[in-house]
Amino acid sequence: MAYNLLKGKRGIITGALDSNSIAWKVAEKAHEEGATFVLTNAPIAMRMGEINALAEKTNSKIIPADATSVEELTNLFTQSQEILGGKIDFVLHSIGMSVNIRKKIAYPELNYDYYAKGVDVSAMSLHKMLSVAYKMDALNDHASVVALSYAAAQRTYPFYTDMADIKALLESIARSFGYHYGLTMQNLFHDGGYSTTGVSDLIMQKSGITEA
């Protein structure tokens, strides 16, 4: 059931790769609630072509942009304002990628080129997006910017390897840019009895989630 909660709101939604992507579901809901928005993803992700179905379904335009490129992000914010007819009310940063995780490289043995790539794509990209928007004054008053973190930013989840560090940086950028941009950053979490360890390898094995 829709309530027109986002009627008249203009947005930029990153990270919808296929129907399993969090951003895909957000785009469907935002459309249901009356928002208009631009979809964007890395040019390489466009090759899969699935985003075209989402664009058709939500009556949206697609602007390819590599979130590590300030030039492409500048083009994204320029074109989005032209297409949507004004400043932006909401941005969803739903971008994450770790080659170390993909290649199953354990935390003590991280590859630093992959690590640096992960930092750039998954955390520094939020700084770059906000910096571009700030310099262009592209966000409306009371605009919302949402980025997606994970509990491993605050507590140890061994399998999350470099993404744990990267999410901690993402959260710090949200706090710091919140201060400089005059935005409010709320970091909500619920401590279900955790201390500093979210989950251990032993618990994962005993639960039958991973093999010993």
Ligand X SMILES: NC(=O)c1ccc[n+]([C@@H]2O[C@H](COP(=O)([O-])OP(=O)(O)OC[C@H]3O[C@@H](n4cnc5c(N)ncnc54)[C@H](O)[C@@H]3O)[C@@H](O)[C@H]2O)c1
The residue ranges that bind ligand X (CB under 6 A) are 14-15, 17, 21-23, 41-42, 45, 66-68, 94-97, 121, 148, 150
Nearer to ligand X, 36 or 94 (CB): 94
Q: What are φ and ψ of residue 56, in 5° steps?
A: -65, -45
Nearer to ligand X, 23 or 84 (CB): 23
Measured from each CB, the residue nearest to ligand X is: 96
Nearer to ligand X, 73 or 143 (CB): 73
Report in angstroms how near the CB of residue 151 gets to ligand X at its nearest.
Answer: 8
Report in angstroms how near the CB of residue 141 gets to ligand X at its nearest.
Answer: 26
Concatenated DSSP letters of 69-112: -HHHHHHHHHHHHHHHTS-EEEEEE-----HHHHTT--GGG--H
Burial bucket for residue 163 (CB in 10 Å: 0-12, 13-18, 19+): buried
Report in angstroms how near the CB of residue 180 gets to ligand X at its nearest.
Answer: 22
How far is residue 146's CA from residue 42's CA, in Å, rounded to a whole number?
A: 18
* CA-based end-to-end distance of the chain: 45
* Phi and psi based region of residue 142 (left: phi greater than 0; alpha: psi -120 to 50; beta: remaining): left
Nearer to ligand X, 35 or 166 (CB): 166
Report in angstroms how near the CB of residue 168 gets to ligand X at its nearest.
Answer: 12
